[in-house]
């Protein structure tokens, strides 16, 4: 999908770029599959900020995405390809033979009029949803389940894909986009193909305002704060502190491991994403 660049009429426009949406076929979402959800602004039920730099942004209607694809062995026709403001990948509106409509993640190469299916004995083509045991090694996949019947949890961002490296009953080895190799059960489902909107990473926002439209608030450096607010704060003039890099709460950010030793999923990781 091409990227559009502007003429350098201002310093902001000089490097800014946007995605073209010529291939998308719907301007408005299918309203029965949407709902309004008020943003929390990074705060919990007590009003305390638990996730920094969030708040504001444009109004959004949340799309109900079918990550499970549990209507097995039933054909679904792609009605439209749409933009989703809540995720980086695009989505597709499909209609099953029983006239029910649902949203699914749109893989790269899916077109209006294509027929997709889910089940154990479906054709190995882009958009079909099938168990990992039925997919040959080397096939690009996305929307992968952690546990059977849970619905897709992994590899759902724009342009991402994973591959089956090997199979050892009852697990298969999945190479993740990060380089991590992880064991997942063969009866977990995944969607064939690469996630759509691969050019998402090439966008240059150009100005802070575009980030604010997305609900991303400014990030203040620790060295610009007072000592009461951050361990890096304070000092006469410009200084980088003197202590080791840390979070506002004093936790080291260079080499300090935060993963729990008894983490259940750790035993399923064959190769860590950080090891080269």
Question: Is the bond leading into 16 cis (omega within 30 degrees of zero)?
Answer: no
Residues 6+ apart with CB under 8 A from 214: 57, 58
How many CA within 13 A on the CB side of residue 104? 34
CB atoms near residue 155 (< 10 Å): 22
pLDDT score, position 125: 94
pLDDT score, position 1: 59
3-class DSSP state of 96: strand
pLDDT score, position 247: 92
Q: What is the mean pLDDT of the chain?
A: 92
Output the DSSP codes for 254-270.
SS---S-TT-GGGGGEE
Query: What is the percent of the chain with per-residue pLDDT over 90, rounded to a whole number?
Result: 80
pLDDT score, position 100: 96
For 4, 17, 218, 267, the CA distances from 13, given in Å and listed in that order, are: 12, 8, 20, 49
pLDDT score, position 36: 93
3-class DSSP state of 11: helix
Q: Is 51 exposed, middle or buried (0-12, 13-18, 19+ CB in 10 A)?
A: exposed
Contact call for residues 197 and 88 (beta carbons, < 8 A): yes
Give per-residue pLDDT as tens, 127-172: 999 999 999 999 999 999 999 999 999 999 999 999 999 999 899 9
For 235, 249, 250, 257, the CA distances from 231, given in Å and listed in that order, are: 11, 8, 6, 19
Q: Which two tokens stand for residue 172?
A: 């298969």
Quote the CATH superfamily of domain 21-201.
Nucleic acid-binding proteins (2.40.50.140)
Mean pLDDT along residues 79-92 = 96
pLDDT score, position 97: 96
Q: Is the pLDDT of residue 235 over 80?
A: yes
Which residue is listed with tokens 């979070």?
247
CB atoms near residue 28 (< 10 Å): 9
Helix, strand counts (H, E) of the chain: 2, 17
Give per-residue pLDDT as tens, 185-218: 999 999 999 999 999 999 999 999 999 999 999 9
State the pLDDT confidence band at 241, using cuts at 50, 70 and 90: low
**Least confidently predicted of 117-121, 141-145, 237-241, 242-246:** 237-241
Sign of the CA dihedral 122, 128, 134, 138?
A: positive
Contact call for residues 103 and 63 (beta carbons, < 8 A): yes
């Amino acid at each position: 999908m091409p990227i559009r660049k502007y003429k350098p009429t201002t310093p902001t426009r000089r490097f800014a770029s946007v995605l073209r949406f010529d291939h998308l076929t719907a301007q408005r979402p299918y309203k029965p599959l949407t709902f309004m959800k008020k943003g929390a602004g990074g705060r919990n039920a007590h009003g305390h900020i638990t996730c920094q730099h969030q708040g504001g942004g444009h109004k959004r209607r949340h799309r109900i995405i079918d990550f499970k694809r549990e209507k097995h062995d039933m054909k679904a026709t792609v009605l439209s390809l749409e933009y989703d403001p809540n995720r980086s990948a695009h989505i597709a509106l499909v209609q099953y033979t029983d006239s029910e409509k649902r949203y699914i993640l749109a893989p790269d190469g899916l077109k209006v009029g294509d027929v997709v299916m889910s089940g154990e004995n479906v054709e190995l083509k882009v958009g079909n949803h099938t168990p990992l045991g039925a997919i040959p090694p080397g096939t690009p996949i996305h929307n992968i389940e952690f546990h059977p019947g849970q619905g897709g949890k992994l590899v759902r961002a724009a342009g991402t894909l994973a591959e089956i490296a090997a199979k050892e009953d009852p697990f298969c080895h999945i190479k993740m986009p990060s380089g991590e190799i992880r064991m997942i059960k063969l009866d977990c489902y995944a969607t064939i193909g690469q996630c759509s909107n691969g050019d998402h990473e090439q966008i240059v926002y150009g100005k802070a305002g575009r980030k604010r439209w997305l609900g991303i608030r400014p990030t203040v450096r620790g060295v610009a704060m007072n000592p009461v607010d951050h361990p890096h704060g304070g000092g006469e003039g410009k200084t980088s502190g003197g202590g080791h890099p840390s979070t506002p709460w004093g936790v080291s950010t260079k080499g300090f491991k935060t993963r729990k030793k008894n983490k259940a999923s750790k035993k399923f990781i064959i190769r860590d994403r950080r090891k080269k």
